[in-house]
């Protein structure tokens, strides 16, 4: 069994009693969810959390927001001062040989000795093994006493700080597949925000792959794995229309739809804000004038955690949190204006361009948004082994298909009743999930043994 003592961040510690308890409970729940089936028990108190697990979970605790530091420990019971010193000596004996160390003790309860008494006596006894160094020790022999319980633990490891995920509400993170949006998502997690992810596809499989990998990584390495969904919307409807407007305004119009449809999505999900990876002046749509104009088109709070970070700092942070190798680094698909993109847009000018588009574009995009499972989702280039099930791949267009599958154009899916064998089992899949759900329901209602892949 692995035993841990966990200290939460100072941000939690300075809260009022009720708020503090809420954050502590949230942190304990998050730890329990992340440790999963390896947890034995977890106990939380007003100043710390005790965790007992079946295996080493250092990597989980070092990436759980709300934790300032943690350490494995051993718990012993003592009868008197000498018994306390002897048991402490036995624990630290092999750990401080030949190195600089100091003893640090915290004590609660009624005793006939003080914390300083313990530090002095244990330090004297251990001094023959190592060198006492109060200012710059290489090792700290930590003790904590509560009544007759003695907790002995090694040097603390640092946690990531911040607030527990979910303690500050929920937001939607607009994902691009690039470095800025995923670092913004990490910062949202750190400030205690629960996160759903929203990606608007412009038809690029390579970017989609990056988004799925990034969402997977963030949920299982920094977030809470059983929370947070990935939603995907189809922007191909807009790309068919955007040629009608001035080329210099196309980037801004694209961003306008990102904002307004996300705003509508947030309202539908009863979420009060969304997060973007925008950094000031990085591209034309992110200059101050354009950001100010775009903000007027949403009544939800727009959070920009990396707004004042230079690109080099964003990249450095992406490497530190482990996502840099997963980001999309190919062609910039969101830049549809080319050279001469507008950098001084106004609400009036943007709206004039929007009015040139055909009606219903926004509605089509909104209706296309569907939830996908990043852990199990796939692209059409992947192969699947469903053993006794035949694969039906639903094509959005004729350019995509899946090897060894029954490829069915979505607009003609009802015709498959004419050639499918209803004695066989099937799994239906597609690129985003929404089309396969439609076809699966259709086949199910017609008596087929079918599931969504």
Mean pLDDT across the chain:
87
Domain 389-452 has CATH 3.10.110.10: no
Cα(122)–Cα(102) distance, rounded to whole angstroms? 9
Task: For strands 149-153 and 67-77, give the pairing.
Answer: antiparallel
Which token pair is 210? 């990056």
* Residue labelled with tokens 């992340």: 34
CB 190 within 8 A of CB 68: no
Where is average pLDDT lowest: 133-137, 167-171, 216-220, 331-335? 331-335
Where is average pLDDT lowest: 97-111, 113-127, 422-436? 422-436
Which token pair is 38? 């390896």
What integer pLDDT is reported at residue 453 of this predicted model?
67
- Contacts for 90-97: CB closer than 8 Å, 24+ residues apart: 91/152, 92/122, 92/126, 92/141, 92/152, 93/126, 93/129, 95/139, 95/141, 95/154, 96/126, 96/129, 96/130, 96/139, 96/141, 97/129, 97/130
What integer pLDDT is reported at residue 332 of this predicted model?
57
C-alpha to C-alpha distances, 148 to 43, 110, 176, nearest whole angstrom: 18, 9, 55
**Sequence ranges of the domains in the chain:** 2-158, 170-372, 389-452
In degrees, to the nearest 5, what angle opens at C-alpha 142 toward C-alphas 141 and 143?
125
Taking phi first (over 0 means left), then psi (-120 to 50 degrees means alpha), and beta for anything else, what does residue 98 get?
Answer: left
> Can you say whether the dihedral through the CA atoms of 402, 407, 409, 410 is positive or negative?
negative
Q: What is the CATH number of domain 170-372?
A: 3.40.50.620
Residue (of 273, 295, 272) closest to 184 by Cα position: 273
pLDDT over threshold 60, residue 358: yes
Question: What is the average per-residue pLDDT within 124-130?
Answer: 90
390-428, pLDDT tens digit by residue? 888 888 776 677 877 888 888 888 888 878 888 888 888
pTM for the full predicted model: 0.75
C-alpha to C-alpha distances, 328 to 28, 204, 206, 376, 425, nearest whole angstrom: 34, 11, 7, 20, 37
Residue percentage of the chain with pLDDT more than 70:
92
pLDDT over threshold 80, residue 213: yes
Pick 2-158's CATH classification: 3.40.50.920, 2.40.50.140, 3.30.428.10, 3.30.2130.30. 3.30.2130.30
pLDDT over threshold 80, residue 205: no
């Amino acid at each position: 069994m692995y035993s841990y003592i966990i200290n939460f961040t100072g941000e939690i510690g300075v809260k009022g009693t009720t708020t503090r308890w809420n954050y502590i409970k949230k942190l304990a729940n998050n730890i329990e969810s992340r440790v999963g089936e390896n947890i034995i028990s977890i106990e939380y108190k007003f100043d710390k959390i005790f965790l007992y697990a079946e295996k080493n979970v250092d990597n989980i605790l070092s990436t759980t927001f709300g934790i300032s530091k943690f350490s494995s420990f051993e718990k012993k019971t003592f009868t008197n001062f000498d018994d306390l010193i002897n048991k402490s000596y036995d624990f630290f004996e092999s750990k401080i040989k030949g190195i600089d160390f100091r003893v640090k003790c915290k004590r609660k309860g009624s005793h006939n000795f003080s914390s300083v008494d313990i530090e002095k006596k244990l330090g004297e006894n251990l001094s023959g093994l190592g060198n006492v160094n109060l200012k710059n020790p290489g090792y700290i022999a930590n003790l904590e006493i509560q009544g007759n319980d003695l907790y002995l633990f090694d040097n603390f490891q640092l946690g990531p700080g911040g607030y527990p995920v979910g303690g500050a509400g929920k937001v939607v993170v607009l994902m691009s597949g690039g470095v800025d949006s995923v670092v913004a998502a990490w910062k949202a997690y750190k400030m205690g925000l629960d996160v759903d992810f929203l990606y608007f596809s412009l038809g690029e499989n390579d970017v989609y792959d990056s988004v799925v990998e990034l969402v997977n990584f963030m949920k299982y390495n920094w977030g809470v794995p059983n929370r947070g969904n990935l939603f995907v919307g189809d922007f191909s409807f807009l790309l068919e229309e955007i040629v009608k407007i001035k080329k210099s305004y196309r980037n801004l119009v694209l961003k306008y739809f990102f904002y307004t449809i996300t705003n509508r999505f947030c309202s539908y999900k009863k979420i009060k804000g969304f997060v973007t990876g925008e950094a000031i002046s990085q591209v034309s749509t992110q200059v101050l004038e354009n950001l100010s104009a775009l903000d007027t088109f949403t009544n939800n709070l727009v959070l920009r955690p990396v707004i004042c970070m230079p690109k080099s700092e964003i990249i450095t942070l992406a490497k530190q949190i482990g996502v840099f190798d997963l980001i999309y680094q190919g062609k910039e698909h969101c830049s549809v204006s080319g050279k001469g993109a507008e950098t001084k847009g106004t609400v009036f000018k943007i709206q004039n361009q929007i009015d040139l588009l055909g009606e219903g574009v926004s509605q089509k995009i909104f209706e296309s948004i569907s939830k996908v499972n990043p852990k199990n989702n796939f692209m059409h280039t992947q192969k699947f082994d469903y053993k006794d099930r035949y694969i039906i791949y639903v094509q959005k267009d004729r350019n995509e298909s899946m090897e060894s599958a029954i490829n069915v154009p979505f607009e003609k899916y009802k015709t498959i009743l004419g050639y499918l064998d209803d004695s066989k089992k099937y799994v239906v899949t597609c690129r985003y999930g929404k089309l396969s759900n439609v076809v699966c329901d259709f086949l199910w209602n017609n008596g087929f043994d079918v599931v969504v892949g």
